[in-house]
Amino acid sequence: MVEIKVFEGVSSVAFREKVSDGIDSCGIFERIGKGGIDIDMVSMEITAGDTLSVGFTLNDDDLPKLLPLIKSEKITTPVINCGNVKFLIKSEEMVGCPGFAARIFTALQSKSCMPLIVTTGINEISLLVRDSEGAEAEKTLREMFS
């Protein structure tokens, strides 16, 4: 059985900053949590040299609380994308099933829907797509697993 959950009104935030400028990912996430902001789909590149690259999603409604935190953290170039749709696809069928995610990506690509962010776990895949592609993505995913 495949469970598909849909979440609308999702923002993505990404930034790449020099660690030497006092940027600290642990401190940033701690302050975001203390600010009452629930983040998801966290992606962090391994620091290459002195650069930190971080991305995550949050509810659009929490963006006004996040912006002052970003400014106080000396993050100078955040890339913010609002009004997206997140899909959580969960199934025990994914465990030990090579190519499960590839089937999803291929089906979405056939409908010209390209995920903005993808995160995975052992039995789940989260996809963030533009709102304009959300209805088609949902239709495609539901047909795929019905």
Q: What is the pLDDT of residues 82-113, one digit of tens each?
A: 999 999 999 999 998 899 999 999 999 999 99
Domains, the chain, in order of start with CATH, read 3-7+83-144 (3.30.2130.10), 10-81 (3.30.2130.10)
Cα–Cα distance, 94 to 123 (Å, whole number): 5
pTM: 0.89
pLDDT at res. 76:
77
Cα–Cα distance, 117 to 127 (Å, whole number): 6
pLDDT at 119 over 80: yes
Q: What is the pLDDT of residues 14-73, one digit of tens each?
A: 988 877 666 677 888 898 999 999 999 998 886 667 788 889 999 999 999 999 988 777
Q: Residue 15: which H helix or E strand, with range?
A: strand 3-18
